[in-house]
Structure 1
Amino acid sequence: MQNRINEREARIFWTALVLTPFLWGIFFIIALFGFKLKWLLLVTIALILNGSNLYGYIKCKVGGKESLSSVTSDFLRKQVLQNAVSIVAGNASSPQANPLGQPTNTV
């Protein structure tokens, strides 16, 4: 499979992705020193969302396959452990007894 990513488009994408949080940061400073609280709230939300978007893209670009496999294996271990605990807890909470409270002898 050939690489279909155009280097020029990738550069434009990453430049815009990195510059937008800086732009929102400038707007934040302007709104903060201008005491415009309504705009400050909007700019703060935009700054947080753009920052998390940038963080996610960088994490995907730099993270590689190791982090994905470790997250997947940790999730599977957790699920297996939870299933085992629920099976053991389910068996322990329902003892085999007859209505008189005496254990049944099953052969």
Structure 2
Amino acid sequence: MAQLLSNEEEVLEAFDPSIAASRRFKHPIAVFFHMAFRSLAIVAYFMCSWAKASFVTSFVIIIVLLSMDFWTVKNITGRLLAGLRYWNYVDDAGNNHWIFESKKGTDKSTVSPIESNIFWLSLVFTILLWILLTITTLFSPTYIIITGAALALNVTNLYGFVRCKFGSNEKLSDEMKKTVFKSFLSRVTSGAGGNMPSSTDNEQQQSSAARTMFGP
């Protein structure tokens, strides 16, 4: 029976290459580093606790690993493994705007289902583990600073990617148009003696501003 199922899977993969592609790792290096930094941070926490290292040494080592994990997940593995990205920009008025992006349509073909599952499961499991470690550190309040920082960084990433997954991206183009329009008005008002930009230049600026990291 098992042999029959195996043969059926091979036939299906032969007629539909997308089935075989969905079972392969498309970004193995990204998967490795996605798991490596968060695993190393947890291992370092246990090792420092077991070796009774000084708090300063433990804090520096673990926070560095947590920061590397946060940056890697936010800027690289979230985009490659799950097709999600969140970022922010500051407009001319100094206001901070957060943008949550998600691949849609044909762009989703670059995302492997198995890599996406690894991405989400690792995010949730890591948060649960740090919550457990935070509870255990109630008897040692010194280390609660480390577990608290770990929870803050991991929860921030989870919240950002959940917004990307289930949030709306319809405001993206509107926000970009507002930014370009404000920049255009600023140039007109500040450059009274200068040359007015042509419509072609303005269209190129809008096209450049509206392009995201997911573009070609």
TM-score (structure 2 length as normaliser): 0.34
More strand, by proportion: 2
Is the radius of gyration larger for structure 1 or structure 2?
1
What is the CA–CA distance in structure 1 between the aligned matches of 2:110 and 2:176, rounded to whole Å? 28
What is the CA–CA distance in structure 1 between the aligned matches of 2:185 and 2:130, rounded to whole Å? 44
Gaps of 5+ in 2: 1-105, 193-216
What corresponds to 2:122 in structure 1? 16
Q: Match of 1:62, as an amino acid?
A: F
Instruction: Tell me the C-alpha RMSD between the 2 structures.
Output: 2.8
| 1:46 aligned residue (143, 150, 167) | 150
What corresponds to 1:103 in structure 2? none
Q: Match of 1:11, as an amino acid?
A: N
What corresponds to 1:36 in structure 2? 141
What is the CA–CA distance in structure 1 between the aligned matches of 2:131 and 2:182, rounded to whole Å? 40
What is the CA–CA distance in structure 1 between the aligned matches of 2:189 and 2:130, rounded to whole Å? 48
What corresponds to 1:72 in structure 2? 176
Kindly report structure 1 stretches of 4+ aligned residues shifted beyond 3 Å.
73-88
What corresponds to 2:111 in structure 1? 5
Q: For residues 70 and 55 of structure 1, do their structure 2 counterparts lie closer, same or farther at Cα, with a shift above 3 Å needed?
A: farther
Once the two structures are TM-superposed, the CA of residue 54 in structure 1 deviates from its matched residue by 0.9
What corresponds to 1:100 in structure 2? none
CA offsets 1:57-84 (integer angstroms, 9 cap, x no match): 1122223431322432343455456556
What is the CA–CA distance in structure 1 between the aligned matches of 2:127 and 2:151, rounded to whole Å? 6
Q: Which has the bigger relative contact order, CA under 8 A and spacing at least 6? A: 2
CA offsets 1:9-51 (integer angstroms, 9 cap, x no match): 21121111122122211111211x21331x1111111111111
Gaps of 5+ in 1: 89-107
Equivalent position SS for 1:9: helix
What is the CA–CA distance in structure 2 between the aligned matches of 1:78 and 1:21, rounded to whole Å? 40
CA offsets 1:82-105 (integer angstroms, 9 cap, x no match): 5567579xxxxxxxxxxxxxxxxx
What is the CA–CA distance in structure 2 between the aligned matches of 1:22 and 1:85, rounded to whole Å? 53
What is the CA–CA distance in structure 2 between the aligned matches of 1:70 and 1:12, rounded to whole Å? 33
TM-score (structure 1 length as normaliser): 0.60
How many residues in Structure 1 have an aligned counterpart in Structure 2?
88
Q: Aligned residues: percent identity? A: 31
Q: Match of 2:116, as an amino acid?
A: A
